[in-house]
C-alpha cells in the first residue's frame, strides 16, 4: 500500500516584508491552535479566522493544513539546530549533554505545538523526512565534537554513537513531555545519568 502524496509546498514564497509578516502571523496563530486543540481538530477555517483573514486569502499562502504543519515544523528544526550548535561549541562535552537535554525538554514543554506536531511525526511522510534530516544534522555536529575531544574513538563507533545519543534522548524526552512535571523532571534526570555514563564509557 503506497502513501498518498499531498502537496505541502507553500503557494507563496514571502519576499516582501508585509508578506513575511502575514506568513509568520498565520504560522503563529496556527501553532497556538494546534497547541490548544491538536492538529486533527484544527480546520483551515479556524486558522483563517484566528489570523484575521478570509479562507480564500489563507489558501493563497498554503494549499492545505499539512503545508502549515510542515512550515511550523521547519521553524522548530531551524531554531533547535541553531541553539544546539551554539551550545555544543561552548561547553565541555559532559556539560553539553546536560544542557542539550534540558534544551530539548524545554522545547517539548514550552514551544507552541512542538510536542503536538512531533508526536505525530510517523503519520506524515514529509515530517519523517524532516525528522531524519534533523537527526543527521545533530549527529554530524556531535560527531565533529567527539572527534575533537577523543580522536582515538574508531570512526564507525563514533558515528553510531552520534546517531544513537540524540535519537534515544529525543524518544525519552517525547515521552517525558506527556507526563506530569515532577515525573518528567525525574525522567530527564535519569536520562542525563544514562547519557553521561555512556559518554564516559565511550571516551575512556
Task: State whether residue 146 is helix, strand or coil.
Answer: helix
Domain regions of the chain by residue span: 17-66, 69-203
The CA distance from 23 to 68, in Å, is: 10
Q: What global pTM score does this model have?
A: 0.76
Tell me the fold of 69-203.
Tetracycline Repressor; domain 2 (1.10.357)
Task: Determine the pLDDT at residue 15.
Answer: 52
Cβ atoms of 130 and 70 closer than 8 Å = yes
State the cell numbers at 176.
517525558
The CA distance from 51 to 30, in Å, is: 8
Task: Determine the pLDDT at residue 31.
Answer: 94
Provide the CATH number for the domain formed by 17-66 in this structure.
Answer: 1.10.10.60
Task: Determine the pLDDT at residue 192.
Answer: 94
Element (H, E) at 197: helix 181-203
Cβ atoms of 146 and 165 closer than 8 Å = no
Residue 45: partners with Cβ closer than 8 Å, 6 or more residues away: 55
Residues of the chain with pLDDT under 70: 1-17
Task: Determine the pLDDT at residue 51.
Answer: 94
Task: Determine the pLDDT at residue 56.
Answer: 95
State the cell numbers at 155.
570512526
Identify the burial level of 78 via C-beta atoms within 10 angstroms of its C-beta, where 0-12 means exposed, 13-18 middle and 19 or more buried.
exposed
Do 17-66 and 69-203 agree at the fold level? no
Task: Determine the pLDDT at residue 13.
Answer: 59
Digit-coded pLDDT (tens) for 70-120: 999 999 888 888 887 777 777 787 788 888 888 888 888 888 788 888 877
Amino acid at each position: 500500500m503506497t502513501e498518498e502524496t499531498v502537496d505541502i509546498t507553500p503557494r507563496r514564497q514571502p519576499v516582501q516584508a508585509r508578506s513575511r509578516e502575514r506568513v509568520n502571523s498565520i504560522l503563529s496563530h496556527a501553532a497556538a491552535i494546534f497547541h490548544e486543540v491538536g492538529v486533527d481538530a484544527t480546520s483551515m477555517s479556524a486558522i483563517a479566522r484566528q489570523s484575521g483573514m478570509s479562507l480564500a486569502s489563507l489558501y493563497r499562502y498554503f494549499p492545505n493544513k499539512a503545508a502549515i504543519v510542515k512550515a511550523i515544523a521547519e521553524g522548530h528544526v531551524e531554531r533547535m539546530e541553531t541553539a544546539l550548535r551554539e551550545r555544543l561549541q561552548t561547553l565541555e562535552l559532559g556539560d553539553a549533554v546536560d544542557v542539550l537535554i534540558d534544551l530539548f525538554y524545554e522545547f517539548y514543554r514550552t514551544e507552541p505545538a512542538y510536542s503536538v506536531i512531533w508526536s505525530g511525526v510517523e503519520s506524515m511522510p514529509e515530517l519523517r523526512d524532516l525528522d531524519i534530516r534533523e537527526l543527521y544534522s545533530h549527529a554530524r555536529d556531535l560527531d565533529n565534537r567527539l572527534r575533537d575531544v577523543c580522536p582515538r574513538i574508531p570512526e564507525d563507533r563514533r558515528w553510531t554513537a552520534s546517531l544513537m545519543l540524540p535519537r534515544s534522548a529525543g524518544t525519552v524526552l517525547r515521552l517525558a513531555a506527556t507526563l506530569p512535571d515532577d515525573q518528567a523532571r525525574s525522567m530527564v534526570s535519569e536520562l542525563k545519568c544514562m547519557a553521561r555514563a555512556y559518554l564516559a564509557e565511550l571516551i575512556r
